Amino acid sequence: MNISPFDLFLLLGGLQGFILAVLLWVNTKGRRLSNRLLAGLIGLMALMSFAVGIPVANRTISLFLDLFPVFNAMLLGPLLFLYTKSLLDPEFRIGKAEKRHFFPILIDWGAPLLGWTFMLGLLLSMHTREEGIRWGHWMDQYNTYVDIPRWLSLATYWLLTRQWMNKQVARQNASHQLLHVRWLKQFLNVMLGFLLIWLLHLVPYIIPATGLTVLDQWGWYPIYIPLSVLIYWLGLKGYLHARNSPSAALLVETTPKATSTQLPADTVEAIIMRLKEAMQVDHLYLNPELTVDKVGKHIQLPAKTISFVLNQHLKKSFNTFVNEYRVAAVIKQLSNSGSEQFTIAGIAFSCGFNSQATFQRTFRQLTGMSPTEYLSRQASV
């Protein structure tokens, strides 16, 4: 079996991508989430490069490439965006909101789904083998035009990533992030170059009059040769960056400890005002899972600074500070005329408490009476 030099280059690029993706996935240096997001990005690129470079003379291989989603380009943009956020924000986690970024992968699965639909219809005698030519044409057409949303997705996420990174750097201005920022700027510049190359190939490719001519003359090499180069560069640079990066725990430990000498009176007053605004205006206390870290992220202050101000200047713990607002919200609702239709526990949970025992204990500590006693006293007034 003869393999052209270009195909061999793609296969080797895919192989190296797989190896580096595994090394990043198991790497304990740097932040694990960042390493695995980058590993996913490199792994997807490697899979696409490998799929283009592998010879398709074998019918089984050709059928596999038609029926299984090996081109998942809709995930490249989200992985780029989330990788950047995880690298610059040590508190970043993948939650429900972040998982929604992965839903557009269904667009990548369109052609394989058409193939499986035909195969199922063939098994159920709903189609004949001769109709496979028409279904194959539909799959080819889908694969042609699906590159438009793929390119737009990556370009959009590139812009979002660039904007978010610039805002984050301007807001934090942290010296320990300079290594990450320098690496991310290189990464984004290289991705921009790849986007421009892709666009130059995409425009004539999607025009019916020139599409076949482009493929006959150049094939997919104008896209996937640069992609393989990107895999080589990104895999090596990304892996070395991960190995040389300090861990997330170290970044937290290097945050200056808050002391009275570091916090002048006007600074303390400003922090207290921001904390009160977060409760009174933004109503953060309504979140039953609220932590000092989440408040710190919201008002862009270290959690240790917030705890220091609360303990040393307001003489109360974080939980006491938050529960005061929750109890005040409960009292306000109990005082409303329509509160009779709700249980006391239901009102407490709606105001941010996640435990009835905690609510009962806190209410008594702050008011000197139980919620039931408070209601009875209100009724007798």
Enumerate domains of the chain plus CATH numbers.
Answer: 5-252 (1.20.1070), 265-380 (1.10.10.60)
Overall residue count recorded for the chain in this entry = 381
Task: Return the higher-pLDDT residue of 357 and 36.
Answer: 36
Is the pTM for the entire model greater than 0.75?
Answer: no
d(CA 271, CA 299): 9
Question: What integer is the mean pLDDT of 334-356?
Answer: 83
Whether the predicted pLDDT of 340 surpasses 80: no
What pLDDT is recorded for position 2? 66
Whether the predicted pLDDT of 83 surpasses 90: yes
What would the pLDDT profile of 218-262 be if each residue is shown by its tens digit? 566 777 788 888 888 887 787 777 766 554 433 433 344 444 446
- Cβ proximity of 363 and 323 under 8 Å: no
d(CA 140, CA 91): 43
Phi, psi of 3 (to 5 degrees): -120, 130
Whether the predicted pLDDT of 125 surpasses 80: yes
